Amino acid sequence: MGANTQERSTAKPKRKKRFSLLTRRDLIVLGLLLGVPAAIHIFFVWVPALLSIVLSFANWNGIGGVGKIDWIGTTNYQQIATIYPPFWPAVRHNLIWLGTFILIATPIGMYLAVQLDKEVRGTRFYQSAIYLPVVLSLALVGFIWQLIYAPEEGLLNNLLGTTQQGNLIDWLGNPSLNLWAILIAASWRHIGYIMILYLAGLKSVDPTLKEAAAIDGASSRQTFFHVVFPVLKPINIVILVVTIIESLRAFDIVYVTNKGTNGLELLSILVTNNIIGEASRIGYGSALAVILLIISLGFIITYLFRTFRADEAEL
C-alpha cells in the first residue's frame, strides 16, 4: 500500500511532463481518438436529452418548422397531472414495477446466487438454467409467456382447469391481474440477471473472511449478513441501479402484450404514444420524458458519485 502511493506520487509529475512532450501530431490524434466518440455520443444522447427539457415547455405538433413552436410554459406539466387520464395509472404501475423488482425479484436473485455459491453438485447446470432467460429479449419473453397465459389455450388455465366460459381467467386481459402476470414474466428474466451479477460478486469475496467467521462460530446466515453483504457494498449498489433502470425502461414486454393499455400503462409507453401515435404531441411527450428523466437522474447521479469519487481521489 505504502509503496504504491509513493510510486503514484512520483509518477504524477512524470505523467504531466509527458503530456507536454507529445508532438503536435500526437495531440491531434489524441483529440480525434477522444473527440469523435464523444461528439457522436453527446450529439445523439445528451443533445436530445436536453432538447426534451426544452420542448417540454412547447406546444408543437411537428408540422411546420421550428418557427411554428408555441412556447406555453408549464402548461404541459399541468395538463399531464390534471387532465391526462393514463398518467397517474402509469406512475402507479411504474412504482409497482419498481417495488416488485426491488423487494421481490432482486432479493430472490441474490438468494439464488448465495445458494449457488455453495457449489453443490450440479451447480453449473442450475446456474445456466436460471440465467438462460437473460439472453432473450423482453419482447420474446412476452411472446413465450403468452403461451402460458392465453385464456383458452394457455398452460396455466389448462392446469388450473379454468378454461370454460364461466370460470375463465383472462390473465393478460383483466386489468387488475395483467400487471402482476407481466411482472412474473419480467421477473423470470430479471432474477437470472441479478443472480449472475451477484454470483460474480460472491466469487470475488476473499474465502478466508468466511472461514474466519465460521471459526468464530457464526452461522452461515450471520456470516452472510454481517461479513459478506457489507463487503459486497459496491456490487449491491450496481444491482440496485440495474434494478431501478430496468424498471423505468420497461417497455417491450408490455408493448407486445397489448401496446400498454388496459391496466398496463407505463411512463415509457405514454412517451412513445405521443410521438408515433396518430396525434404527434411533441411537447406532451417531452414533458413525460422529463418526468422519467428526473426520476432516473436522481439515481444515476448518486451512483456516479459513489463510483467515481475513488477515482477522483486518485488523480
Partner 1 sequence: MTTLAERRARRQSQNQISGVEGPRWGLRIFLAVTALVWLLPLLWAVYTSLRPYEDTARLGYVSIGGSYGFGNFATAWTQADLPHYYINTLIISVPGVIVTLLLASMAAFALSRFSFRFNIALLMLFTAGNLLPQQVIITPLYRMFLSIPLPTWLSSTGLMFDSYFGLITIHVAFQMGFCTFVLSNYMKALPRDLTEAAFVDGASVWRQYRSVIMPLSRPPLAALATLEFTWIYNDFFWAIVLVQTGSKRPITSALNNLAGLYFTDNNLIAAGSILAAIPTLIVFVLLQRHFVKGLTLGSSKG
Residues 65-104 that bind partner 1 (CB under 8 A): none
Q: Return the residue matching grid coordinates 477515482.
A: 311
Residue of 120, 144, 114 lying closest to 132 (CA atoms): 144
Q: Residue 52 and residue 288: Cα distance in Å, rounded?
A: 9
Nearer to partner 1, 166 or 176 (CB): 166
Using rule CB under 8 A, residue 113 touches partner 1: no
Q: Tell me which of 201, 227, 260, 264 binds partner 1, using CB under 8 A.
A: 201
Q: Residue 208 and residue 202: Cα distance in Å, rounded?
A: 13
Q: What is the smallest separation between the CB atom of 213 and partner 1, expressed in angstroms?
A: 14
Nearer to partner 1, 20 or 176 (CB): 20
Using rule CB under 8 A, residue 276 touches partner 1: yes
Using rule CB under 8 A, residue 300 touches partner 1: yes
Nearer to partner 1, 227 or 295 (CB): 295
Report the DSSP beta bridge partners of residue 70: 59
Element (H, E) at 195: helix 178-203
Q: Residue 9 and residue 27: Cα distance in Å, rounded?
A: 25
Q: Tell me which of 5, 26, 68, 219 binds partner 1, using CB under 8 A.
A: 26
Tally Cβ neighbours within 10 Å of residue 229.
15
Q: Tell me which of 182, 213, 241, 264 binds partner 1, using CB under 8 A.
A: 241
Q: How many helices (H) and strands (E) does the chain have?
A: 17, 2
226 burial class (0-12, 13-18, 19+ CB within 10 angstroms)? exposed
Element (H, E) at 14: helix 2-21
Subset of 30-49 contacting partner 1 (CB under 8 A):
30, 33-34, 36-38, 40-49
Q: What is the smallest separation between the CB atom of 305 and partner 1, expressed in angstroms?
A: 9
Q: Tell me which of 5, 204, 222, 302 binds partner 1, using CB under 8 A.
A: 204
Q: What is the smallest separation between the CB atom of 313 and partner 1, expressed in angstroms?
A: 11
DSSP-derived letter for residue 281 is -
Nearer to partner 1, 40 or 95 (CB): 40
Using rule CB under 8 A, residue 182 touches partner 1: no
DSSP 3-state assignment of 118?
coil
Subset of 120-149 contacting partner 1 (CB under 8 A):
120-123, 125-126, 128-140, 143-148
Using rule CB under 8 A, residue 1 touches partner 1: no
